[in-house]
Amino acid sequence: MQVEMSRAWIEIDLGALQRNAAEMARRATVPLLPMVKADAYGMGAVPVARALESLQPWAFGVATVAEGAELRQAGVDRSILVFTPLLADEFGSARAHNLVPTLSSAALIRQWAESGGGRWHLAIDTGMNRAGVQWDRMAEVSDLVRSHPPEGAFTHFHSADANDGSMEVQERRFELAVRALPVRPVHLHAENSPSLERRGPSPWTLARPGVFLYGVGGGAGASVRPEPVAHLRARVVEVREVAVGETVSYSATWRAAAPCRIATVAAGYADGVRRSLSNRGVALVRGCRAPIAGLVTMDMTMLDVTGMACEIGDMATFLGRDREASLDISDVAASAGLSPYEVLVGLRLRAQRIYVA
């Protein structure tokens, strides 16, 4: 379907995505298990998975059976791991779509085996305290692992971007846990994007990059930065003169201190322009920064374009590059008081996507 760029759209640079993934692979020196959960962080799981095929990933990671089923129905035939713990009544659907569960308790391992078994990965909790068998309690699953060996085992770092030593503590715990198993799994994976940014090569057999692929990086100690992938754009649909003392948008939170020009842009919080950017964020118009004036509304956002070249039909960029200027996801997130992850997944709304190589 062709996207008509007459209102609001998200431009997704698949070439940048591939180059970001290639950088992760170069640093890891082991096969990748790219995370494409949450519709590939808002970028579109199917086109993203297809674009990443050029790197020959070992598998793809999702959070739910439904996400895995979507990839299968689109023709993706690589291994797909489901990283959120499944309920026993989801096992049948997981098998039907040839998905690999990550099992996080003795009860689930037993139920998986008794319901037919198959490939699975063992989730080991080394400090996240979210899901997984606790690292120093491997005895609880030892007999089950012996009789039904997992294909892989993994853990998840809680603060790999902090460079505070916690990642190293978790890795030591992970290795101790794996050594305590009666059978060492063939595939071991722990590293996420921040850990791969900080170091390489990987000491494990697989690496799980996520948010770096989509243009977010630069944590503490990072030696590489990703290229931007998502560009949120919309058209200017009105430009008006506003007199001194006049207000803009709901609740009159913005008032003109001098005569000004206000541009109305056809994108609002239903398109991914976060409401918390009201009176704080900016957009790029012809490569220049225009402050957001007043509250972001559901369908429209107003910009102060006083002293700038701006006409009806111009493109406004709320995220990404425009000419020589750019609005980095992390900076936009900071202005909105959000995490970059929230900004990305918040793009899964009304604005249509277009894909460029």
CA distance 208 to 228: 19
CB 152 within 8 A of CB 189: yes
Number of DSSP helices (H) and strands (E) in the chain, helices first: 11, 18
Is 41 tagged catalytic? no
HEC string for 24-78: HHHHHCCCECCECHHHHHCCCHHHHHHHHHHHCCCEEEECCHHHHHHHHHCCCCC
Closest C-alpha among 289, 186, 284, 302 to residue 242: 302
Contacting residues for 73 by C-beta, under 8 A, at least 6 apart = none
Q: Are the CB atoms for 142 and 133 separated by under 8 Å?
A: no
- Listed residue (224, 207, 100) closest to 155, CA to CA: 207
Is-cis flag, bond preceding 34, omega within 30? no
CA distance 161 to 215: 15
Among candidate residues 214, 250, 341, 355, the one labeled active-site is 250
Is 37 part of the annotated catalytic residue set? yes
Catalytic residues, by residue number, are 37, 250
